[in-house]
Amino acid sequence: MAEYLIYGKRTERIYDVYSKTWTEPDTTFRALNANGERVTKLKDAFSFATREDAQDFIDNRRPKPGVIFEIRKAR
């Protein structure tokens, strides 16, 4: 059975209200965990059984402006 992962990337600067600093745009896509945070290891990423499940997950979240997603098949 295939697994799908959601990858994300920031394309605009985002202001972090907690640390009061600006986060610069990302240069590459990274896999996301269940909280929508970028992870460096694929074992920490949140996987979905079908592409439709992954798309539903994205549709039910409200991403910040300047954030884009991709759904990719896990290797």
pLDDT above 70 covers a percentage of the chain that reads 97
Compute CA distances 12 → 30, 43, 48, 59, whole Å.
16, 27, 27, 20
> Which residue type occupies 57?
F
Q: In this structure, are strands 4-10 and 67-73 parallel, antiparallel, or unpaired?
A: antiparallel
Question: Which DSSP string corresponds to 14-27?
Answer: EEETTTTEEEPPPS
CA-wise closest residue to 36 among 14, 12, 69? 69
Euclidean distance between CA atoms 33 and 50, whole angstroms: 16
The confidence score (pLDDT) of residue 16 equals 86
19 against 16, higher pLDDT: 19
pLDDT of 58 reads 92
pLDDT in tens, 21-38: 998 999 999 999 998 899
